[in-house]
Structure 1
Amino acid sequence: MRIVHFGHACVLLEIGDTRLLIDPGTLSSGFEALRGLDAILFTHAHADHLDLGRLPALVDASPDAVIVADPGSAEQISDHGLNCRTARPGDVLSSGDVRIDVVGGEHAVIHPDLPGIPNVGYLVGHGAFLHPGDSFVRPERPVDVLALPTGAPWLKAAEAVDYLRAVRPRVAVPVHEAVLASPQLHYTLFERLAPEGTEVRVLRHGEPAEV
């Protein structure tokens, strides 16, 4: 599997001939040049995961790509005149030969006084990769590569470490780091406290990596 991290929550997965883009949002860059996508997936409706301004051009560049999104994002995407399939927890989707399980359902709590919103995670390729969006969802099957949330108003570093230890992936790829001035501090913490057998691998933005 090849992964390209475009900063923050946005990643491109290439599994065989299938190309999946997850969460192209306002804090990510470089995904605009992509062509030949099979699917564009969104975990939730926050702008750092869903850039409605750049989405139409992205779709025009990959006209055969299927858009898949949580209920909140799907409504906004449809309001912009784009076709979108709504993903709900428990759904099993496919893109080419790649299976995609929809997991989770709710965004992590930022503060009790703020209303909650839908958030789905995508477990791709029978557990080959998990993007949890803004949540600490724990799927029932083992995860090989985890997109590990690093910094956000809804998490603290200790919670991210506990999530890493609970999932115990072979590789953890830190994402959701754009809100931090010095994400390397968190990366070092992950490396020190990762469970045995887990490699924390920080990807250079925009550069393909075999994982």
Structure 2
Amino acid sequence: MKLTKYEHSCVLVEHGDARVLVDPGNFSHGFEELTGLTAVLVTHQHPDHLDVERLPQVLDRNPDAALYTDPGTAEVLAGMHIEATTVQAGDHLDLGVGVDVHGEQHAVIHPEIPVVPNVGYLFDGRFFHPGDSFTPPPVDVEILGLPTAAPWQKLSEAIDFLRAVSPAVAIPIHQAILAKPELYYGHFQRLGPERTELRLLETADTVTL
């Protein structure tokens, strides 16, 4: 399995003949030039995970790519006349790579801000992209996309999530708002599970796992 990060939470997952793009948001760059995609997956509707201006460009360049989203995102896209297939916890997708859907809600930002739907995607039973949720999937995870910093989270919550999932490999994501993300990475290394290897991916870096 090859993982390529396009800043923040945007990740290209390649496995066999599958090329699946997750969360093409407005803090990410480079994904809009991709071709040969088999699917595009969106965890939730927030702009840093869904760039509504560049998504049509991606779909135009990849006319055979299927689009899957949570129900809230599907409503947003319907208003733009973009059709998406909705998914929810318990669904299984065969996209050339098996994808299991976990979770239902975004983390709470503030009690007065409505909570939006959020789903996570587990690829081939190995790589889990949680979107903006710290709900561990009820299965073992080998490779975790670990949200690093956001208005809705504390460092302690990220560390607790890392400990709860206890993956063999953790790849920090969702760090675009930070000027010094390495301060967070150091805490992950010191306080995360001993079994977990932290793998740092810069923009357009690829790792094969």
TM over 0.5: yes
Say whether the 8 Å CA contact 1:121–1:137 is kept in structure 2. no
Give the letter aligned to residue 48 of structure 1: D
1:101-180 to structure 2, matched below 5 A, reads 101-125=100-124, 127-180=125-178
Give the letter aligned to residue 46 of structure 1: H
Secondary structure of the equivalent of 2:104?
strand
Secondary structure of the equivalent of 2:118?
strand
Q: Measure, in 2, the Cα distance between the counterparts of 1:94 and 1:177.
A: 30
Structure 1 segments of 4+ aligned residues over 6 angstroms from their partners: none
- Kindly state the Cα deviation for residue 147 of structure 1 after the two structures are TM-superposed: 0.3
Give the letter aligned to residue 188 of structure 2: F
Q: Measure, in 1, the Cα distance between the counterparts of 2:43 and 2:182.
A: 25
Give the letter aligned to residue 73 of structure 1: T
Secondary structure of the equivalent of 2:186?
helix
Q: Measure, in 2, the Cα distance between the counterparts of 1:65 and 1:123.
A: 19
Alpha-carbon displacement from aligned partner over 1:18-46 (angstroms, at most 9, x marks no partner): 11100000000010110000110000000
Secondary structure of the equivalent of 1:191?
helix
Give the letter aligned to residue 154 of structure 2: K
Q: Which residue of 1 aligns with 2:93?
A: 93
Q: Measure, in 2, the Cα distance between the counterparts of 1:21 and 1:77.
A: 17
Q: Which runs of 5+ in 1 are unaligned?
A: none
- Kindly state the Cα deviation for residue 76 of structure 1 after the two structures are TM-superposed: 1.4
Q: What's the Cα RMSD here?
A: 0.9
Q: Which residue of 2 aligns with 1:76?
A: 76
- Kindly state the Cα deviation for residue 78 of structure 1 after the two structures are TM-superposed: 2.2
Q: Measure, in 1, the Cα distance between the counterparts of 2:18 and 2:3.
A: 12
Q: Which runs of 5+ in 2 are unaligned?
A: none
Q: Measure, in 2, the Cα distance between the counterparts of 1:123 and 1:78.
A: 25
Q: Measure, in 2, the Cα distance between the counterparts of 1:136 and 1:94.
A: 25
Sequence identity (%): 52
Q: Residue 198 in 1 paired to residue 196 in 2?
A: yes
Q: Residue 28 in 1 paired to residue 19 in 2?
A: no
Secondary structure of the equivalent of 1:74?
helix
- Kindly state the Cα deviation for residue 210 of structure 1 after the two structures are TM-superposed: 1.2
Say whether the 8 Å CA contact 1:6–1:30 is kept in structure 2. yes
- Kindly state the Cα deviation for residue 116 of structure 1 after the two structures are TM-superposed: 0.9
TM-score between the two structures when normalised by the length of structure 2: 0.98
Give the letter aligned to residue 32 of structure 1: E
Q: Measure, in 1, the Cα distance between the counterparts of 2:110 and 2:82.
A: 32
Q: Measure, in 1, the Cα distance between the counterparts of 2:205 and 2:148.
A: 19
Give the letter aligned to residue 92 of structure 1: H
